[in-house]
Amino acid sequence: MSPTVLIVGAGPSGLSLALALTQNGVSVRIIDKLSSYRVGQKGSGIQPRTLELYKLLGVLPDVQKKGGVPQPKLHYLPSGEAKIVEVLDFMENTPDRPYINPIILGQDRHEAILREHLARSGVAVELETELVSFEQFPDRVVSRVAKARDGQQFEESIESQYIIGAEGAHSVVRKTLGLTFLGETRKGDNLVVGDIHVKKPLLDRDVWHVWGEPSTKAVTLRPFETKDDDKYTFICLGRDLDFEKMASSREEFIKGFYETSGRTDIEFGDLIWISNFQPNVRMVNDYGSGRAFVAGDSAHVHSPTGGQGLNTGIQDSVNLAWKLALVHKGLAPEGLLASYSQERIPIIAAMLNKTSELLNKTFKPGGGGWVRGYELRQLGVNYRGSPAIVDETPVEGEETIDPYRSGNDGTVRGGDRAPDAPGLVFIDDSSHKTSLFDVFGSSYHTVLIFSDENTALLDALKNYPTGIIKSVVIVPQRPTGAILADQVLVDGDGYAYKHYNMAEKLTKVVVVRPDGIIGALVSGVDGLNRYFKKIFV
């Protein structure tokens, strides 16, 4: 049976896309040219916004269970002293932002979690399967893939409704579409990165060890988030470093490490992997064409500083999945897919600027490139300028939109992440409480109605297909009459009205999309219909 979507690349972007699509009832095949699953930490920082999306996808408990906390840096100075550098401030979770701190999780273990969740839906990654070419037709895509099985090489033709390239910077999908990949190669800003075993002495596993000066020559060792082993990830940087030589073998890495750190007492075990990484800063001019799209590193590459890339790719995928599902089912117009590019391109441009700025600081003496600002947690990433958003909030004067930070000032607008609100009480079971993050889902729109006058609104929702909209009436106190919504919740702790600023708003209806974004802030039926006209046929 032909899959609806062929996903090329089984990294975090491809895996999260496959998971989101299957939860939307869309069949997928996911292929990867590698012969075995990736090893190593690589992109190990999972930002709070991604954690919120993983809550939607049902992955969060496993990520929290297996992840660790970001360590501060312990910088050993030439004087023999050492100082602690806090990479980011630990913050207390708040009712509206319950996962406010990043989690460290090696990319290999991260991908394993996503594969396990996919397996529950009967989807397995097809290794040693490489996309050679594809051709688009009005009603389908025909792809040619090369496969290796038991030492034999052969080809297969795969027919699908759509194809998504999530296979990295050398994406066949992107090149076939002719999408531009403009930017720069950061010559001289190389990083030697990898993972290695440390036999002795036992280095403190609660800090990230740094020797040297990043502007000239420095080496670092960061312990894995797993506390019961001897694995460390390393980053070696500085313009005076011989990158090619240091990355050429385990012995040359150790020699360069000893020379830079002076710590010849550290005894290394097996090398897990090593790479001479040269940062590229590039992005596409469009996220797709026809029935073919790109996501993750196929669409944007950049410096690893700031831990934004892996997270941005996952957010690409969750943005695309629900839109593609609705279009495929005939419930949404083809034009909805244009909003994928329209919403993601400004985010990527802002992200590239931020990561490049951090890289520049890293290579400057005392530049502070290790320190991470709050906006890198990505809770301010928003689509306020998207044509797919409807917002009836009155605004005085001209509004400036920062695609990475709008909403961090406490305002709540269409296009922002939807804040959580705990302490919601079911009217038919006052002992049972829930939160908005438990109400939202990855396969339906949630319509939050903050009004006693809800009959017309609820009647309007009956005009739309069943199963793709959940109606939720939120009242400040227990109602006296019956309300015919999917759920009626009492705002027991007052957080829902508070976090959505309902006391200050004329708008009383909040539509939350399947990607946890506020699609609409409207006052009544007309605004509700105006939004859903953009979404449904």
- Nearest Cα neighbor of 461 from 383, 535, 384, 387 is 535
| Cβ-proximal residues to 109 (8 Å cutoff; 6+ apart), any chain | 66
Q: Going by DSSP bridges, is the β-strand pair 267-277/280-284 parallel, antiparallel, or unpaired? A: unpaired
Taking alpha carbons only, the member of 315, 318, 302 closest to residue 378 is 315
| Ordered alpha helix ranges (H), 58-188 | 60-66, 107-119, 172-177
Q: Is the separation of the CB atoms in 246 and 256 below 8 Å?
A: yes
Question: What is the pLDDT confidence band of residue 37, given thresholds at 50, 70 and 90?
Answer: very high
Element (H, E) at 17: helix 12-23
Question: Closest Cα to residue 110, out of 310, 268, 390, 391?
Answer: 310
Looking at 364-465, list the stretches that DSSP marks H as alpha helix, in order from N- to C-terminal side. Answer: 436-439, 455-461
pLDDT-based confidence at 364, cuts 50/70/90?
low
Asked if residue 31 lies in contact with residue 188, where contact means CB atoms within 8 angstroms, the answer is no
Provide CB contacts within 8 A for 4, sequence distance 6+. Answer: 21, 26, 27, 28, 160, 161, 162, 328
> What pLDDT digit, counting tens, does each position of 109-162 carry?
999 999 999 999 999 999 999 999 999 999 999 999 999 888 889 999 999 999
Considering the chain, what percentage of its residues have pLDDT values greater than 90? 72
Domains of the chain: 5-62+105-180+284-377 (3.50.50.60), 68-92+187-278 (3.30.9.10), 390-535 (3.40.30.10)
Nearest residue to 182 (alpha-carbon basis) of 262, 286, 98: 286
Q: What is the pLDDT of residues 210-261, one digit of tens each?
A: 999 888 899 999 999 987 789 999 999 988 899 999 999 999 999 999 999 9
Mean pLDDT of 333-353: 93
Write out pLDDT tens, residues 379-431. 999 999 999 999 999 887 777 788 998 888 888 999 999 999 999 999 887 78
Q: Across all residues in the chain, what is the average pLDDT?
A: 92
**What global pTM score does this model have?**
0.95
- CA–chain centroid gap for 71, Å, is 21
**Which tens digits make up the pLDDT trace of 261-309?**
999 999 999 999 999 988 888 999 999 999 999 999 999 998 777 778 8
- Please give the distance of CA 394 from its chain centroid, rounded to a whole number: 31
pLDDT at residue 248, as a whole number? 96
Q: Strands across the sheet with 280-284, in order? A: 181-185, 280-284, 300-301
Pairing of strands 191-200, 231-237: antiparallel
Q: Read off the pLDDT band of 361 (50, 70, 90).
A: low
Cα 398 to Cα 394, 395, 414, 519, 523: the distances in Å are 11, 8, 16, 21, 22
Nearest alpha-carbon partner for 498 in 438, 420, 415 = 420
